[in-house]
Chains A and B, each alone.
Chain A
Amino acid sequence: MSSNWVLACAANDVDEEDVLGVELNGQKLAVYNTPKGFFATDGICTHEVAQLEDGLVIGTVIECPLHQGRFDVTNGKALSAPVCVDLKTYPTKVEDGDVYIDVPV
């Protein structure tokens, strides 16, 4: 499958240990700046409709702002109740201070 790198934001648009919501190709995504680097996932929680951009990032974990579902943003794994469905993740790269996400066409 060929990659489709899309400019998401400037790296310094996202504070350290924080998250930014972006919309690429009509799709809501969340970009995370973590101690382990930049990551990207779907922007909506898998439990109920909640914007993960409003959540809290601690290390590489995002906590959903509605019902406290938690996900590891490096692999999308659902870590705690009530969520049970993993988050979809997307490859990221940082070039010249910009964050790119590989979004399927």
Chain B
Amino acid sequence: MRNVAIVGAGLAGFSVARRLRELDYTGAITLFGDEGALPYDRPPLSKGSLKASVDASGATLRPSEFFEENQIALRPSEPVLGIDTTARTLQLRGEAFAFDALVLATGATPRALPNAIIRGLHGVHGLRTLADAQRISQAFGTAQHALIVGGGYIGLEVAAAAAERGLRVTLIEAGPRILGRVAGPPTADAIRAAHKRKGVDIREGVGLSALVGTDQVKGAILSDGAHVAADCVIVGIGIDPNVTLAKSAGLATENGILVDPTCQTSQPGIWAAGDCAAFPMADQITRLESVGNAIEMGEVVAANIMGQSRPYAPTAWFWSDQFDLKLQMVGLSPGYDRIVTRPGVNPDAISHWYYAGERLLSVDIINEPKTYIIAKRLIETGKSPPPAQIADQSVNLKVLLKS
């Protein structure tokens, strides 16, 4: 292996490059990005970055010297236009770039509202990139009333940031409740209550019918007929994996770039990692949209480029910061039939443990990192403590880990 090309300079692509060097790969690594910046960390974009002016350098994953020292050729403003899987070259704007191994870490794009709803109005934002966060943070400086469309993590984090910037905030969720796809009912209840305390107007089961205004958005008509004022609209209704490049090269795709358990696509020597990759997990094809997935899948791809044939078998983990709530989750809850509540040491802390029968599937933890790290280890090692012990605050979780 002499020449690894990585398309996408986000966390997944970066993790492949970093881990290849850690594994003593000595050939060339070229990392192609299209945001014109050093690889950076996205989580702060929906959290701290929106609370003040966004510092472009603060979230950089590594300084530029790291790329020089590790001989990672970063081409941050080089969109990749095509892949020739026979010649094994990437089509760039002015050249064909030869590779031995190729990694697609092309990420995802926020879903947009249809134009019939937006009607060409200004003041409507999606959030994915540093540039998006800078635009939103700037808009928060002058706006009075934010409308957040979507009650997932991005929407709720942006709602919290807007409220903390002093805006009046309305959040609408078209599904029956916030966090319907990603957290259990009691966790959603706690998050909803925190937003209410801070004055965020959360409306569930309510969609967006139309935005109103001339040129600049002024308000919105909701699906229940209500009118709300809104001079700044942030749309957080999910992301779609970026599959165009893979698809046009004839790679198998299906809600993501399809990969086998070793993260290889339908073409030998072409791999995929991160938000864009759909992989087999527990008899299903899954995509995980998370930092953990970007890092760990990238690391597995690097190992497999080096010939290790490692299967990717992740434990899903996520976190979200909203107001003074630190929410952490590990595992995936679908299929649960029982929720066990464990009170925290402090009154603002609590955890919810999702079981299918006696088997522990996932845990949502609020304001207790110490519990999270043990829950994660329990799930990683396949341990299912008896629910009665979990519910008993006097039982030391670390003891359960060692049993």
Chain A: residues with CB nearer than 8 A to chain B? 15, 18, 50-51, 54-56, 63, 65-68, 81-82, 84
Q: Which residue of B lies closest to A51 (CB)?
A: B369
> A54 — which chain B residues lie within 8 A by C-beta?
369-370, 373
**Could you jot down 14 A-B contacts, CB within 8 Å?**
A15-B398, A18-B398, A50-B369, A54-B369, A54-B373, A56-B373, A56-B374, A56-B377, A63-B373, A66-B328, A67-B319, A68-B292, A82-B295, A84-B61
CB distance from B166 to the nearest CB of A (A): 24
CA of A68 to CA of B299 in the docked complex: distance in angstroms? 15
Q: Mark B347-379, 1 if CB is under 8 A from A, else 0.
A: 000000000000000000000011011101100
* Cβ contact within 8 Å between A55 and B398: no
* Cβ contact within 8 Å between A55 and B319: no
Q: Does B201 contact A (CB under 8 A)?
A: no
Chain B: residues with CB nearer than 8 A to chain A? 15, 18, 41, 61-62, 66, 291-292, 295, 299, 317, 319, 326, 328, 369-370, 372-374, 376-377, 398
* Cβ contact within 8 Å between A65 and B291: no
> A68 — which chain B residues lie within 8 A by C-beta?
292, 317, 376
Q: Which residue of A lies closest to B326 (CB)?
A: A66
CB distance from A51 to the nearest CB of B (A): 7
CA of A68 to CA of B66 in the docked complex: distance in angstroms? 21
B373 touches which of A65, A81, A84 (Cβ 8 Å): A65
> B377 — which chain A residues lie within 8 A by C-beta?
56
Q: Is the interface of A mostly helix, strand, loop or mixed?
A: loop
With A54-B373, A55-B369, A63-B373 already in contact, 19 other A-B pairs whose C-beta atoms are closer than 8 Å: A51-B369, A54-B369, A55-B370, A56-B373, A56-B374, A56-B377, A65-B369, A65-B370, A65-B373, A67-B291, A68-B292, A81-B15, A81-B18, A81-B295, A81-B299, A82-B61, A82-B291, A82-B295, A84-B66
B319 touches which of A18, A66, A81 (Cβ 8 Å): A66
CA of A66 to CA of B376 in the docked complex: distance in angstroms? 11
| 5 smallest beta-carbon distances between A and B, as pairs | A65-B369, A54-B370, A65-B373, A81-B295, A56-B373
> B18 — which chain A residues lie within 8 A by C-beta?
81
Q: Which residue of A lies closest to B47 (CB)?
A: A48
> B328 — which chain A residues lie within 8 A by C-beta?
66
CB distance from A11 to the nearest CB of B (A): 18
CA of A54 to CA of B295 in the docked complex: distance in angstroms? 23
> B15 — which chain A residues lie within 8 A by C-beta?
81
* Cβ contact within 8 Å between B291 and A55: no
